Structure 1
């Protein structure tokens, strides 16, 4: 195994970090303050994108820091999963950065789906503007009325009727659907087929958000935050009729596509967690050096030095495990890295949650305000322990794969 970053990976990550430090960090605090202040000015469908976002995106694109996640050298940066991981870590230090480099979820995963499985028509209509950063997208997966930790529980349906596919059902935690630039969604649902196995009865369908029968009911707050202008919506689909050509790769291939989508996407999430943890630890240490209580610097009070050491060990362990998963995906494919991908999905968000919690404690009252990114990082960490499969599902996968080595299922 070789986790040593290539010269190109090192160079790209350094450029990403320099761009963040020079162009994003100086305006980020003001950016989020303006968004928080505007929250009380109207309904979610009145959310607006600050002009600085598009200006920064144009600057990043001009510097070649664009679509870094996509391994296609013609459409993206041509970086492998492992090579991109180092840049993903840097973007995790900033809440703005992923969007500025057009490397933001759920768009990255949706673009990968279209790149891998989309038809020429689907790519021309939706992948091209997504790669250009002109529109945004959403992935409709989780449902309010079933236990969505088991994806085969899906109640939403995508039924083939002649040359059309008809969608019905409810989805929620549809991240990004509140963005005024969000134009397209990927809807995963049950396509009943008695002849197909349990994992051959679901389809992914491209749904323009202005299609008749698509209704955004509400935005859902996460720990009281609406993540505007991104948003996490509850969306209802009532007899939404679309051409059969909107089905990605054909009916019944939803789970197959999901396997290809989620592996690299989880690497991205976990490396961003590591970047956020590094930023949180830096903030904690700086606070501990600057502040004095009981005639001692905070870093020298109680068990804070030990906690700093534990945070460093946990961050580096999570990074190495994530890089190992990325290396396996690159060298042997997603299916070879199932244990590793599940392991990092458990480890990285939990590690971030613990490191941020320590940083919040070091900051006292300031730590639970909007004056630092810590509350947003904590929100991110706790939410990721549910998103893309809860911890328990991934632990179950790890255990099952481990026991299979002993002949148990």
Structure 2
């Protein structure tokens, strides 16, 4: 790869990406444009601007992408009830395609010929960033310093920072106890004190949720309203996508909802242990399943559940912009045409469960399922022929077994 002339760097303002900024300038002698996305991680982003200015970034982009993140990435994923390996709500995975999208757009705006990220060569994020980047611009150069440089230890990183007068937060001079990635959907903690999957995670790892044992002793009820598969209101109050997820995070967090201790299979082949907190997303998933129970036909619902693991794996592995994910999305979105109504949920000490649901689009018919008189809505005698036809092949198999003595 020829040396880049201008690079757009996904920049957090932390030590690692600050070192990358300087490394790009010294290694390639190129201009560096920084891009910092506000995805609801809860950190002050202006210090990132000041640090990028001090280090000579040729242009600085800091953008609030919370609404786009929830509306165009989180909500479409939740229409599918997506869970990776049956448990993980994909909080980190779903943020990467949006960051990549803006990196490519900013590269086009600034005339940059390359983009760079701070993901390591051991993780999933390098794959997600780069697959998305190439899908959006097949000619772009992608620089992954962690796969190129010789700064292979925390000590070497600190030495490089000190030599290049890069500010180092005091707590970064020692080994960090664990690494954290956060956005409006979740908080993810990995490494160090969490690396032994046999050892319970210490309490201080959890940042978004109270200990369920210390949560309120009184349950809280919340109502979530949907239109065509997307949540639009909480307790009757209409909210924007980001505001709605923020509110659900607050509600879920105080009840200890959404904690997950998971050993997952990374796309690159190894297993890793992570602690995830997804309070609002956990409520949203339960609520969405609750409204689908009465508005979605059985055949459509079961087909969605069959496809969900494949859809989730595509997102986890970085294929958001692939044709197969878009094809599955079209099918999922078609299924949501009548997923409109309201769900009442009960939150209590780490749990959230549906306790009521109603909709003008409901397929639930009380007259068909009642144990009382149904005024002719359902003729129970019809079931006899239905059962006999479905049993025919089973009876033929049983007769063969008897005939052959097997």
Q: Give yes or no for TM over 0.5.
A: no
Which structure has more RCO (C-alpha within 8 Å, separation ≥ 6)?
2
Bucket of the pairwise TM-score, normalised by the shorter protein:
under 0.3
* Structure with higher helix content: 1
TM-score (normalizing by structure 1) = 0.26
TM-score (normalizing by structure 2) = 0.26
